[in-house]
A and B are shown apart, each in its own frame.
Chain A
Amino acid sequence: MKRSTRLLVAIILVLLLAVVSVSVWAAPGRQGSVPVPPRTYPGEIGEEINIGIGTVSTEGTSGRVNVKLIKDPSKKFGPATHGIYLLNYAIDVKVVQGSVNSVEVCVPLNPDWADKEMGPEIQWYLWDSDAEAWVDVETSIKEGVPPMICGTSDQAGVFSLQGQ
């Protein structure tokens, strides 16, 4: 390439850069070397707590619960009982004060799960820390907009939706 051609190409490229350039570096949200603390969802026993990906309802004596989302449950608890974790989170319901006799965890029913049968194909589980295994809990579908798939247990703990 001749010198004059090279110079012309360089000038044109620089002009093009000047047209599109901005002095801002797009940066989504707060970040740092220290990760953002995971969100927790405190609430009263007896009320429905919105946890973003669904709801948690409790019944029992008056008191408080705290709900935490555990990302990537397979890393913390090992492989799912029958196949895969259908949610990328396990839901930890912890009683801070008082006691509960019923805990219901619900998430919207994904259309991809609509044809699945309750049981191995789609099922809520509760983590048994002594046995270090998932124990299945009562699972049902609540009609509504959207329909919700709910797991119910008489105790608090870590809930996980699993299936095939």
Chain B
Amino acid sequence: MSDKNQGKNKFSLVLVLIQKSSIRKPLTLLTLFFILGLAYGLTLAPGLTWANNGADGGDLITAAATNGVAHPSGYPLYLLLAELFQRIPVGTLAFRTNIMSAIFTMMAAALIFLFLEQWLDSSLSALVSALAFGLSPLVWSQAVITEVYALHALLTTGIICVFLAPVRKPLLYLGQGILFGLAVGNHLTTLLLSPLVLLIQLEDKEGDRIPQDVLRKIILPIAFRFLGVLIGLLVYVVLPLRASAWPPVNWGNPVTLDSFFWLVSAQIYQEFALSLSVLETIQRFQGLAGLLFHQFTFIGLILGLYGLFSNTSSAARLSTIWVFVSFNLFAIFYAYADSFVYVIPASISFSMWIGIGLHDLLAVVSSRRNRIRSALLLALLAGIIVRSLWILPEVDASKDQRAEIFGEKLLASAPKDAIVVTDTDEETFALWYFHYALRQRPDLMVISEGLLQFDWYYQTLQETYPGLVIPEYESFTTAQEVVDANPSNPVCFATYQGVDVLVCDETILSDSDATYHDSLSIIP
């Protein structure tokens, strides 16, 4: 036998093994991990980043590292997990927290794969679905920075999978509830999934849709789930515990019932709900259509919508439709500038529909020609991978050094014992990261102008900087009033204007920076 024929036979043998044996599933899963790992690894931010709307990263990293409380709703579960990742002895503190997002997104994609593989009994369709999710620009963009959305995606996928699992055991119901409660402990929009808590699959083995034993089949499962939800929600207890030690990042100082409720209900952001004009709302709907095209392409949208109308089980279809519609509507009506990130859970549903649609369409082809089916699948996979090369520069956070340069330069050049006043998220959180988390320039006093309107921030500043004089008024204190009350300290106004990093003087800002000047309300 020639070498060529021997090689051919070996290749065929491998193919047969992959198609028939039990290694098919783990091998496909490894492929998924390899592709996503490579994509995320190439684009992961090496340090603190502002890329991909990631300015909040500085707040989350610092709150986790200092045993603090992050911005509302506090994100207790995220902080606990971030603390674990921050113990990995690799790279900078920010890098370690960024890795968490990549790993959680890969786990979410793996769950989508496993769920669909089980459901459709097709590894390749499930792989396409998981890749469609993991390599969609929005999901990818959040997988390479510090943000809560990767964990949100993982928990949402987990909830969809376990709530649709055809198992009827009290412990599972309890586990489902705990998972839901924990997920609320990461992101409040998980509450949109509440109807799933009431979802009970009534159909039993005999196909009887009306349960004979209402107590056992309906009331007990729901009761166990609610009990589980309450247990999961206990994760919020860590917030007052952390706050009681007066960390430098201590949003809301949630040690009383009022302040705790203020924090966890995200009261300061509630004004964004339903505050868009009619025109803006219409534009948001159009923007969502554009976003869908950008996430899944023309072919992906056709496959997904085709999959939506496929003959799937009613519970699965209803659940995924609910997730898709509720999260998209929330993103549309929440008047926050980057509320488009809230559609990530909707992308989970849509990716699943893509897998279902693909599987259904391929069933037609496979009944005629197996080779055509394989060729089509491989072409689709190749298409997804080629497209990811096109998306890569858009989501790439690996080269974004703006936040690092800003923080390091500013702290290096600020005069001794200076009061450094910050304005936006970018400036505030970057300085918190370097000053509080990395403990650079402990002589400085960093003050967020926007937070001075809150009593809890006065208290936090007083605990953090005992030497700082903060005048208290009936209304609120401005940064200028704090500056006036501490005449012996030099003053810096930290601002970031595009590529110009450093505006820090011992006096107030230059007149050319009129916008910032206005926002500081400096008395002439």
Contacts and interface: CB of A to CB of B under 8 A. Distances in A.
A105 interface: no
Interface stretch (A17-25, A46-54, A141-149): A17-25
A139 to B, nearest CB: 20
A154 to B, nearest CB: 18
A17 B293 contact: yes
B283 A32 contact: no
B310 to A, nearest CB: 7
A135 to B, nearest CB: 14
Q: Which of B55, B305, B357 has the most CB of A within 10 A?
A: B305
Contact of B298 (A14, A42, A70): A14
Contact of A35 (B337, B450, B479, B524): B450
Contacts of A90: 475
B452 interface: yes
Q: Chain B: interface secondary structure? A: helix
Counting chain B CB atoms within 10 Å of each CB, which of A7, A31, A34 scores highest? A34
A70 B305 contact: no
A70 B450 CA distance: 14
B271 to A, nearest CB: 10
A28 B280 contact: yes
Given A32-B55, A34-B428, A21 B286 contact: yes
Contacts of A14: 298, 301-302, 305
Contacts of A24: 283, 286-287, 290
Interface stretch (B185-193, B209-217, B515-523): B515-523
Interface residues of A, number: 46
Contact of A20 (B56, B285, B476, B519): B285
Contacts of A32: 55, 424-425, 450
A68 B476 contact: yes
A64 B523 contact: yes
B306 interface: yes
B90 interface: no
B378 interface: no
B387 to A, nearest CB: 16
B340 interface: yes
* Interface bracket on B: 35 or more
B364 interface: yes
Contacts of A22: 283, 286-287, 289-290
A11 interface: yes
A27 B335 CA distance: 7
A114 interface: no
Nearest to A66: B523
Contacts of B291: 25
A38 B476 CA distance: 9
A33 B272 contact: no
A34 B310 contact: no
Interface string B300-316: 01111110111000000
Interface string B361-385: 1001000000000000000000000
B523 A23 contact: no
A76 B475 CA distance: 8
B349 interface: no
A17 B524 contact: no
Contacts of A42: 521, 523-524
A26 B288 CA distance: 10
B306 A6 contact: yes
A10 interface: yes
Interface in A55-74: 64, 66, 68-70
Nearest to A19: B289
Nearest to A6: B309
Contacts of A157: 474
A129 to B, nearest CB: 6
Given A9-B305, A34-B451, A23 B476 contact: no
Contacts of B451: 34-35
B478 interface: yes
A13 interface: yes
B290 A34 contact: no
A157 B475 CA distance: 10
Nearest to A96: B523
Nearest to A40: B521
Interface of B: 55-56, 59, 71, 268, 272, 275-276, 280, 283-287, 289-294, 298, 301-306, 308-310, 335-340, 357, 360-361, 364, 423-425, 428-429, 448-453, 473-476, 478-479, 519-521, 523-524
Given A7-B306, A34-B71, A158-B474, 6 more contacts: A10-B302, A13-B305, A22-B287, A28-B335, A37-B423, A68-B475
